[in-house]
């Protein structure tokens, strides 16, 4: 290394002219070199996913691109593989690479939840690793004791609530929105009463914040279990891919996870990724006079431009193949398709795109059909 060679030569010169004692110069030079090397070689973050690819999560991508020289990233297919290369002080992140099931009854299998054995937990603790573990199949607050199977649940009306300030955009009682019908494991009975989760799942009132506080029943979502373990009840490593909202608050959660496994990282939550859906107007800004009409026109245009509304010729062809458009409901004497859309927003006929929203689908079909008087609906 040229820099070290020059430094050593400088030490020799200074000592030869009796400016500084040799032992003092060498001490401070060695201390500076060691400190610089330590800063340049931060901890290694070992990512383990259960989908066989060892990469591909939002969390791993952000750590790779945003942490800079604060840490390095390695990807592994198994926890055992990660422990072979892990060094003291490294971080290990065991992620649910496959998304938990959405819709229907909760289901669990070897490719959805994550597993760490007691022996692997003991090895992590002996190496002084910092662990982030999400969607575990079994857990015990004392990781040296037998890990107990966890009950699987599924969100319905629950939202994520911050019980403490997680970041600049996520104060205490801030609401975060994972999707409905997301599988999670019930960690309620695994922590001692003194352990307070940082995020919980709960049915609460409010829009931006839990305005009436927390209900009696909550489920831990993100918990600092001990000095070296941060555990999540479901997959939190893909908030961008899964379009969790609000974006700025989930960015705070990502930074919180990275700060746990690599405490020296200086990553900021601002602008980690761009939200896929943004607002058209500022929160407290005035709306133009035509805002409501413009929104309706944009909604109808979405169906027309997207090819979701067929032409008269295409509709005639589909009558014979896909759906009995001309069949009238015996009670309402209206089209069965339109009747079903207006009442449930659902229908059995699908094109290349998904149309299942009550207001958008019904309004679009109603307006389009009104404009096309040749359609006998």
- Encode pLDDT of 248-278 as tens digits: 999 999 999 999 999 887 788 888 888 877 7
Residue 225 CA, chain-centre distance (Å), reads 20
Cβ distance 253 to 232 under 8 Å?
no
Contacts of 271 (CB under 8 A, 6+ apart): none
Least reliable range by pLDDT among 110-114, 148-152, 172-176, 260-264: 110-114
d(CA 357, CA 20): 79
pLDDT at residue 11 in the model = 46
Cis peptide before 301 (omega within 30 of 0): no
Average pLDDT over residues 210-235: 94
Tell whether pTM > 0.75. no
Average pLDDT over residues 177-191: 85
Q: List C-alpha distances in Å: 190 to 97, 128, 175, 186, 306.
A: 24, 22, 24, 9, 49
Helices marked H in the chain — which ranges? Answer: 2-16, 22-40, 58-66, 79-85, 118-127, 247-261, 291-305, 312-321, 336-344, 358-371
Contacts of 50 (CB under 8 A, 6+ apart): 95, 96, 97, 98, 110, 111, 112, 113, 114, 115
Tokens of 150: 């966890």
**Res. 120: pLDDT tops 90:** yes
Closest CA to 90 of 48, 151, 149, 61: 48
State the average pLDDT for the chain. Answer: 75
Task: Determine the longest span between alpha carbons in the chain, in angstroms.
Answer: 109
Per-residue pLDDT reduced to its tens digit, 144-155: 677 888 888 888
Who has greater pLDDT, 141 or 107?
A: 141
pLDDT at residue 370 in the model = 55
**Res. 356: pLDDT tops 50:** no
Taking the alpha carbons at both ends of the chain, their separation in whole angstroms is: 81
- Using DSSP bridges, classify how beta strands 219-226 and 229-232 pair: parallel, antiparallel or unpaired: antiparallel
């Amino acid at each position: 290394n040229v820099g070290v060679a020059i430094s050593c030569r400088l030490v020799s010169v200074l000592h030869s002219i009796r400016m500084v004692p040799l032992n003092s110069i060498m001490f401070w030079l060695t201390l500076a070199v060691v400190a610089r090397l330590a800063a340049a070689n931060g901890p290694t973050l070992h990512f383990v996913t259960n989908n066989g690819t060892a990469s591909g999560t939002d969390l791993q991508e952000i750590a790779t691109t945003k942490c800079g020289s604060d840490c390095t990233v390695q990807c592994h297919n198994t926890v055992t593989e990660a422990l072979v290369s892990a060094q003291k002080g490294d971080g290990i992140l065991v992620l649910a690479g496959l998304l938990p099931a959405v819709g229907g009854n909760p289901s669990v299998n070897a490719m959805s939840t994550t597993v760490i054995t007691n022996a692997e937990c003991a090895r992590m603790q002996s190496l002084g690793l910092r662990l982030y573990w999400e969607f575990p199949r079994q857990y015990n607050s004392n990781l040296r004791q037998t890990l107990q199977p966890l009950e699987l649940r599924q969100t319905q009306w629950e939202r994520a609530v911050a019980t403490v300030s997680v970041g600049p955009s996520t104060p205490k009682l801030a609401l975060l929105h994972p999707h409905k019908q997301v599988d999670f494991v019930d960690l309620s009975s695994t922590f001692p009463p003194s352990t307070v989760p940082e995020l919980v799942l709960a049915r609460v009132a409010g829009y931006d914040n839990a305005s009436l506080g927390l209900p009696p029943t909550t489920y831990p979502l993100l918990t600092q279990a001990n000095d070296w373990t941060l555990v999540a009840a479901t997959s939190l490593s893909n908030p961008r891919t899964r379009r969790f909202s609000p974006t700025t608050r989930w960015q705070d959660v990502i930074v919180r996870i990275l700060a746990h496994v690599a405490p020296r990282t200086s990553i900021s939550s601002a602008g980690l990724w761009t939200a896929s859906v943004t607002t058209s107007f500022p929160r407290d800004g005035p709306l133009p006079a035509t805002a409501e009409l413009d929104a309706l026109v944009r909604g109808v245009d979405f169906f027309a431009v997207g090819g979701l509304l067929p032409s008269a010729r295409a509709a005639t062809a589909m009558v014979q193949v896909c759906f009995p458009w001309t069949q009238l409901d015996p009670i309402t004497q209206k089209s069965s398709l339109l009747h079903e859309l207006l009442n449930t927003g659902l229908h059995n006929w699908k094109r290349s795109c998904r149309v299942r929203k009550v207001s958008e689908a019904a309004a679009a079909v109603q307006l389009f059909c009104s404009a096309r008087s040749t359609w006998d609906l």
